[in-house]
């Protein structure tokens, strides 16, 4: 039987042949690490489109506790699977009065250019 140091060395340097049980164990351990490691351990934050430039977030209308904004699509990083969350973050970062995040998004409408590309979103919020 091989010594523990030799086994660890061969595992670390990936020296086992494909199809051996040692190789399979190493692959399973890597998969377990990748799939079960909490995201917050790495402090990984998605990079947005950068800070909002003037005019990228515009107030369109205000009725009581409801406000409608136009948010430029370039503020969001593609691909977007959590559009509502990303729009909430973009509004919160772009507008000083929304920094505390005490609002909810009630309606999102994409705005398209002549070619059908989304150029902005019309967002209605409630306080």
- Domain identity same for 77 and 109: yes
- Domain identity same for 108 and 71: yes
81: pLDDT strictly greater than 60:
no
- What pLDDT was estimated at residue 70? 87
- Domain identity same for 81 and 122: yes
Is 47 a domain residue? Answer: no
Report yes or no: 101 and 108 within 8 Å, Cβ to Cβ: no
- What pLDDT was estimated at residue 54? 66
Under the banding of pLDDT at 50, 70 and 90, the label for residue 43 is low
Is 92 a domain residue? Answer: yes
pTM attached to this predicted model:
0.43
Q: By residue range, what is the domain housing residue 31?
A: 4-42
User: How many structural domains comprise the chain?
Assistant: 2
- Domain identity same for 64 and 22: no
Is 49 a domain residue? Answer: no
- Domain identity same for 71 and 108: yes
Which strands, in side-by-side order, build the sheet including 118-126? 57-63, 66-72, 118-126, 104-112
- Domain identity same for 109 and 68: yes
- Domain identity same for 25 and 71: no
- Domain identity same for 68 and 121: yes
- What pLDDT was estimated at residue 116? 84
Q: At 53, give phi and psi (nearest 5°).
A: -85, 160
Report yes or no: 56 and 71 within 8 Å, Cβ to Cβ: yes
> For the segment 18-30, what is each residue's pLDDT rounded down to a tens digit?
989 888 988 999 9
- Domain identity same for 31 and 65: no
């Amino acid at each position: 039987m091989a010594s523990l140091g030799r086994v660890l060395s061969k595992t670390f340097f990936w020296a086992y042949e494909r199809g051996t049980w040692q190789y399979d164990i190493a692959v399973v351990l890597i998969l377990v690490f990748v799939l079960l490691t909490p995201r917050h351990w790495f402090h990984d934050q998605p990079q947005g489109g950068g800070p909002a430039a003037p005019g990228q977030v515009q107030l369109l209308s205000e009725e009581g506790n409801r406000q409608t904004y136009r948010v430029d699509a370039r503020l969001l990083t593609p691909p977007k699977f959590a559009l509502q969350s990303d729009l909430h973050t973009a509004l919160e970062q772009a507008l000083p009065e929304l920094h505390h995040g005490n609002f909810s998004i009630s309606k999102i409408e994409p705005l398209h250019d002549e070619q059908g590309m989304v150029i902005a979103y019309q967002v209605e919020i409630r306080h």
